[in-house]
Amino acid sequence: MLEGGSASVFIKQLSDIIVTDEPEENYYMYLGWATEDGGYYNKPCVGMFNSESEGEVISLGKSYTFSGYADAFEQKITAIEVSLDNGTTWTSYPVTGTTESKWVIWNYTITPTEVGAYVIQVRGVTEDGLVSRTPAQMMINVALS
């Protein structure tokens, strides 16, 4: 992975790792994929490590931890935001000590108080105020034990 590169782009089909102290001059994704309106499709990008558990059944009243990453190329991640109501409201959790060259690994624990189906959504916020265009999301089902 090149410094400043997107976390999610470089994890697929990795076959070699080359370590060098020479700068890469031909790297075309350094600032993310720009949109027509001046934003970015993938900056900041977020993902969930446990998203393969789509539809996971969680017991009412028992804690469950979600985890994932956030990355923003040449910008620092300053907050992770979480929504449990399909993006209507977001709760922000400040992140400190981040750098441009490392993923932010986040954890979020919930203890469900009501039975039902929920979609947890997570997005990143950068030091320049950019917010993930497409949040990472996962559906969960809360059931009686």
**Which of 96, 100, 70, 99 is closest to 82 using CA atoms?**
70
Return d(Cα 3, Cα 64) in angstroms, integer. 33
User: Helix (H, G, I), strand (E, B), or coil: what is residue 69?
Assistant: strand
How far lies 15's CA from each of 1, 49, 73, in Å?
A: 12, 21, 22
Residue 143 has pLDDT above 90, yes or no: yes
Please enumerate in sequence order all residues whose Cβ is within 8 A of that of 7, keeping only pairs 6 or more positions apart, or say none.
Answer: 1, 45, 47, 69, 70, 71, 103
Which position has the higher pLDDT, 39 or 2?
39
> Which residue from 96, 89, 17, 7 is spatially nearest to 44, judged by alpha carbons?
7
| Residue pair 70/106 in contact by the 8 Å Cβ criterion | yes
CB-based contact 142:120 (threshold 8 Å)? no
Domains of the chain: 9-143 (2.60.40.650)
**Residues 61, 116, 107, 87, CA torsion sign:** negative
Predicted confidence (pLDDT) per residue in 6-29, tens digit: 555 555 566 777 788 887 776 555
Q: What's the average model confidence in pLDDT over 91-104?
A: 91
Identify the band that residue 113 occupies on the pLDDT scale cut at 50, 70 and 90. very high
Report residue 30's pLDDT band, with 50, 70 and 90 as the boundaries: low
Average pLDDT over residues 96-125: 93
Residue 34 has pLDDT above 90, yes or no: no
Q: What is the DSSP letter of 40?
A: B
What pTM did the predictor assign? Answer: 0.75
Q: pLDDT at position 51, please?
A: 64
